[in-house]
C-alpha cells in the first residue's frame, strides 16, 4: 500500500479506526472521516504515533447531503489520487428521526451516504485505477426487505427492520455499481465485519441500546472486525474481483433477494432520486 491513498468513513472509533490503522501500518496515506472533530483528531493522532504515517482528518455528518458534498470537495482538493474508499460509517437507531434533508436517518446514513459519496469520488477513483471500493454491509441484510414506497419509514419503522433494509441496500448498490464499473479498473465489494464489540448501538437508547450493552462483552474485537475490510481493500489475490460479498475474509453468498437485478436497479434509481442525482453523477 506504499504510495496509495485511502479514505475511511466512520473512522473516529470502532471498526473504522481499526481499518484506518491497518491501512496505515501497510504504508498508505489515510484519510479519516468522522462526525466529531475531537474524537477523529484523537484517532488520527493515535495512528500517527503508532505508524508514523500520513493521516488526514475530515469532519462531516454523513447523514447530510450538503455535508457529503462539502466533504467530497475537500477531499478532492487535497488528494490527487484515491486508491481505496471504505464506506464504513453507520448506526442503528431506536426511534425514527428525519435528517436535515427530511430522510429517515438510518437509510440516509447507512445507505444513501454510501451512494452519494461514492459517486462524488468515482472519477478520482477511476483516474487512480486500479482502485477499490469497500462497502460495509451486515449479515442483517439477509433479513432486510426494501419498501420502495416507504423508504423513509413513515408508515412502518423498527430499529432492526430499518437497519436491515439499509444493509440490504448496501449489497444491492454494490452489485449494481459493479456492473457499471466493468472494465474501469475500479472494483466494488460488500463485506460483513462480524458482530463487533464497538460503540455501534450504545447511543441509541431504548431496548436496542440496553440489549447491546448486555451482549457487547461477548462479541468479537474491533481489530477482528476490521480484518475483512482490510482483506478486501488490500489483498493482491482480489485484484479485479468485483461485485462480491465477503465475511471472515472469504467470499460468501449474500441473500437471494440481493441478487434480484430488477430490485438492484429500482433501488439504484430510487436512491438517485432521493439524492437529486438524475444520471448517477454527483
Beta strands of 49-193 (E only): which ranges?
A: 55-59, 84-87, 131-136, 186-192
The Cα–Cα gap between 198 and 43 comes to 14
Q: Inform me whether the pLDDT recorded for 45 exceeds 80.
A: yes
Q: Look at the block and give the residue holding cell 412502518.
A: 156
| pLDDT at residue 222, as a whole number | 67
| pLDDT at residue 195, as a whole number | 59
* Cβ atoms 80, 87 nearer than 8 A: no
Mean pLDDT computed over 47-53: 98
Q: Which residues contact 2 (CB under 8 A, 6 or more apart)?
A: 26, 27, 28
Q: Inform me whether the pLDDT recorded for 79 exceeds 90.
A: yes
Q: What is the pLDDT of residues 210-256, one digit of tens each?
A: 444 544 444 546 677 889 999 999 999 999 999 999 999 999 999 99
- Residue of 79, 163, 175, 245 with catalytic role: 163
Q: What is the pLDDT of residues 59-77, one digit of tens each?
A: 999 999 999 999 999 999 9
Q: Tell me, yes or no, if 163 is annotated catalytic.
A: yes
DSSP lists the bridge partners of residue 132 as: 84, 187
Give the domains, in start order, of the chain with CATH numbers. 5-275 (3.40.50.720)
Q: What is the pLDDT of residues 80-112, one digit of tens each?
A: 999 999 999 999 999 999 999 999 999 999 999
Instruction: Put residue 14 in one of left, alpha, beta given phi > 0 → left and psi -120 to 50 → alpha.
Output: left
| pLDDT at residue 95, as a whole number | 94
Band of pLDDT at residue 203, cut at 50, 70 and 90: low
| pLDDT at residue 99, as a whole number | 98
More confident residue, 199 or 34: 34
Q: What is the mean pLDDT of the chain?
A: 91
Angle between helical axes of 159-180 and 206-215 (0-180°, round to 10): 80
Q: What is the pLDDT of residues 114-143, one digit of tens each?
A: 999 999 999 999 999 999 999 999 999 999
| pLDDT at residue 278, as a whole number | 73
Amino acid at each position: 500500500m506504499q504510495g496509495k491513498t485511502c479514505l475511511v468513513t466512520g473512522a473516529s472509533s470502532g471498526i473504522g479506526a481499526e481499518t484506518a490503522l491497518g491501512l496505515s501500518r501497510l504504508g498508505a496515506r489515510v484519510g479519516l472521516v468522522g462526525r466529531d472533530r475531537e474524537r477523529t483528531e484523537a484517532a488520527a493522532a493515535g495512528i500517527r504515533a503508532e505508524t508514523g504515517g500520513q493521516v488526514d482528518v475530515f469532519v462531516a455528518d454523513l447523514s447530510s447531503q450538503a455535508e457529503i458534498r462539502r466533504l467530497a470537495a475537500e477531499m478532492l482538493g487535497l488528494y490527487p489520487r484515491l486508491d481505496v474508499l471504505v464506506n464504513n460509517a453507520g448506526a442503528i437507531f431506536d426511534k425514527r428521526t428525519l435528517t436535515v434533508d427530511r430522510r429517515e436517518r438510518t437509510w440516509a446514513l447507512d445507505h444513501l451516504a454510501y451512494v452519494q459519496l461514492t459517486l462524488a469520488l468515482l472519477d478520482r477513483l477511476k483516474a487512480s485505477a486500479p482502485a477499490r471500493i469497500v462497502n460495509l454491509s451486515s449479515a442483517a441484510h439477509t433479513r432486510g426487505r426494501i419498501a420502495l414506497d416507504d423508504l423513509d419509514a413513515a408508515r412502518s419503522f423498527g430499529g432492526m427492520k430499518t437497519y436491515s433494509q439499509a444493509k440490504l441496500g448496501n449489497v444491492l448498490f454494490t452489485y449494481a455499481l459493479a456492473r457499471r464499473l466493468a472494465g474501469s479498473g475500479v472494483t466494488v465489494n460488500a463485506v460483513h465485519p462480524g458482530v463487533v464489540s464497538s460503540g455501534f448501538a450504545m447511543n441509541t437508547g431504548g431496548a436496542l441500546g440496553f440489549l447491546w450493552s448486555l451482549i457487547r462483552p461477548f462479541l468479537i474485537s474491533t481489530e477482528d472486525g476490521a480484518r475483512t475490510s482490510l482483506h478486501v481493500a488490500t489483498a493482491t489475490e482480489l485484484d479485479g474481483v468485483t461485485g462480491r460479498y465477503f465475511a471472515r475474509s472469504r467470499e460468501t453468498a449474500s441473500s437471494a433477494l440481493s441478487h434480484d437485478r430488477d430490485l438492484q436497479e429500482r433501488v439504484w434509481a430510487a436512491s438517485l432520486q432521493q439524492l437529486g442525482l438524475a444520471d448517477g453523477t454527483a
